Structure 1
Amino acid sequence: MSLPPTHVAAVTPDWAFEREHWRRGHFRVAGVDEAGRGAWAGPVTVAAVILPGSAQDYPFRDSKQLSAAQRDRFAQEVRRVALAWAVEHAWPEEIGRLNILGATHAAAHRALERLDPPPQALLTDYLRLRTPLPLSAPPRADALSYTVAAASLLAKTERDRVMTELDREYPGYGFAAHKGYGAPAHRAALADLGVSPVHRRSFAPVARLLAGSGGGGLLAQPRPDPR
């Protein structure tokens, strides 16, 4: 499977980072990546993936380089070929309690704990997890490593699915379109509708709106099941 010419990535992933672990006898390398760290609403979503250590080529790319249709198709392929995979969310309450980086780490550890078979080494996109396992955390790993690119596909597609569900539960904010990020339409909806239960109240744009309204403006609707 190859990418259409209009979506050929400037950088093609390979196995260079994984091979460093393979040389040390660590053949189950889990790639970890997240989606939604900078959004104003919804969860931060983290995926962990172990691919077969056969050094074959895959169509997987950093999810940001692909169309939505490609991401969905390639995410299905990741789930089909992976030795193990898991996806976890950290919701706004946890983000507010731990801060966004701490919540991302917590979700990453939950995803890693669910992998079966368990990983022998970790490879992340500059996410320096606290772990006894050998860890490589190079920048741009989602574009350079097949394993991290696979994780980026699962994290992005799962979070997009969640945000589309939240769009139906909290209509008017446009979550299905902007996925909770700070688009002008999102800012306008916040000013018009107030802050929903799935907004990150610790994030500055949302916190400012709450401060200006005296802490009100929360919609009296149930928060969705985080699972």
Structure 2
Amino acid sequence: MKNKLTIKDVKELLAGDVDQNDLELLADDKRTGVQKLLTQYFKKEQQKSELIEKFHKKEFLERDYWDHGLTVAGVDEVGRGPLAGPVVTAAVILPADNTLYEVDDSKKLTAKKRDKIYRQICEQAIDISIGVGSPQLIDRENIYHATELVTRDAIDRLYLKPDHILVDAMTIPVNIGQTKLIKGDSKSLSIGAASIVAKVSRDRLMSAYDKLYPEFGFLKNDGYGTKEHLHALDEFGRTPIHRLSFSPVRNTKKVYQTPFS
């Protein structure tokens, strides 16, 4: 085989299913290009193996429920700290046979990677629900309680009532058993999936708000109190999506005027 295959042929071979005999023959091929391709192949295989091992560790908590025919929902939130925009929660119920190997804490992923995995979650999940807490709800209830209420909304809006909930370090006011995890989005597959769904959903909302209020740079800062955002708040005033209960906004007397005001 090795004398007949070109470098291009070897590259195509290694991109598909390769048996041990092929690998042994390629290992004897002294061409630099072949050895380089082999090195890249084994590196990718090692990364794939580590990813799958990490995946199995993350589904450890869910697996006990799945093995007993029970459903478990992972829940997470995003947007508790910003000065503007909603707090968004997500509840995700995954099947036992999912192949979401790349799910991780959404903060560890690039926007491009999040979008890719978000689509995979939507394709494979049994059920997904979103809860959105407005700035007005946050101002009325305080951010922590508003998050609890919106998380409850996400659970209540699921078509399938879960047998158990895995949640990232908070208590949801519903009558369903819950396991609270510190940094759960890094430890649980379901919570990690929920963190991605919540993050992508909120980012899309902030992208829409960026078009309404371009002076604040919401597309870049997601509503957090960056230098650019605080400067715009002083210059243009607070918008309807700003949280009045947060001190930098509360201390701003000026109200944003739209071009059509």
TM-score between both structures, scaled by the size of structure 2:
0.74
Give 1:21 shift.
Answer: 4.2
C-alpha separation between the residues in 2 aligned to 1:93 and 1:19? 39
Pairing 1:140-159 to 2, within 5 Å after superposition: 140-159=183-202
Give 1:135 shift.
Answer: 0.2
User: Residue 45 of structure 1 corresponds to which residue in structure 2?
Assistant: 88
C-alpha separation between the residues in 1 aligned to 2:54 and 2:137? 35
C-alpha separation between the residues in 1 aligned to 2:100 and 2:144? 32
RCO comparison, higher one (Cα < 8 Å, 6+): 1
Q: In the alignment, is residue 70 of structure 1 matched against residue 107 of structure 2?
A: no
* Counterpart residue type for residue 118 of structure 2: A
User: Residue 225 of structure 1 corresponds to which residue in structure 2?
Assistant: none
User: Residue 100 of structure 1 corresponds to which residue in structure 2?
Assistant: 143
* Counterpart residue type for residue 16 of structure 1: F
**Per the alignment, in what secondary structure is the counterpart of residue 149 of structure 1?**
helix
User: Residue 137 of structure 1 corresponds to which residue in structure 2?
Assistant: 180
Where does the alignment leave 5 or more consecutive residues of structure 1 unmatched?
A: 222-227
Pairing 1:56-67 to 2, within 5 Å after superposition: 58-67=101-110
Say if 1:110 and 1:78 are closer, same or farther in 2 by CA, change over 3 A: same
TM-superposition CA deviations, 1:38-78 (whole Å, max 9, x none): 01100000000000023755211110000000001100111
Choose from 39, 60, 75 the match for 1:32: 75
Instruction: Detail structure 1 runs of 4+ shifted over 6 Å in the superposition.
Output: none
User: Residue 13 of structure 2 corresponds to which residue in structure 1?
Assistant: none
**Per the alignment, in what secondary structure is the counterpart of residue 58 of structure 1?**
coil
Q: In the alignment, is residue 161 of structure 1 matched against residue 182 of structure 2?
A: no
C-alpha separation between the residues in 2 aligned to 1:175 and 1:57? 30
* Identity within the alignment, %: 36
**Per the alignment, in what secondary structure is the counterpart of residue 218 of structure 1?**
coil
Larger radius of gyration: 2
Q: In the alignment, is residue 177 of structure 1 matched against residue 220 of structure 2?
A: yes
C-alpha separation between the residues in 2 aligned to 1:46 and 1:197? 21
C-alpha separation between the residues in 2 aligned to 1:56 and 1:154? 16
Where does the alignment leave 5 or more consecutive residues of structure 2 unmatched?
A: 1-43
Q: How many residues align?
A: 208
Contact 2:149 2:173 in 1 (8 A): no
Contact 1:199 1:206 in 2 (8 A): yes
Contact 1:12 1:144 in 2 (8 A): no
Cα RMSD after superposing both structures: 2.1
TM-superposition CA deviations, 1:156-213 (whole Å, max 9, x none): 001000001001111201111101011111111111111111000001211122xxx3
Give 1:134 shift.
Answer: 1.0
Q: In the alignment, is residue 195 of structure 1 matched against residue 232 of structure 2?
A: no
Give 1:136 shift.
Answer: 0.4
C-alpha separation between the residues in 1 aligned to 2:136 and 2:213? 17
TM-superposition CA deviations, 1:7-44 (whole Å, max 9, x none): x99x9451122245457x47210000011110110000
C-alpha separation between the residues in 2 aligned to 1:32 and 1:54? 19
C-alpha separation between the residues in 1 aligned to 2:158 and 2:96? 16
**Per the alignment, in what secondary structure is the counterpart of residue 142 of structure 2?**
helix
Give 1:132 shift.
Answer: 1.7
* Counterpart residue type for residue 164 of structure 2: A
Contact 1:32 1:49 in 2 (8 A): yes
TM-score between both structures, scaled by the size of structure 1:
0.85
**Per the alignment, in what secondary structure is the counterpart of residue 116 of structure 1?**
coil
Contact 1:26 1:121 in 2 (8 A): no
* Counterpart residue type for residue 207 of structure 2: T
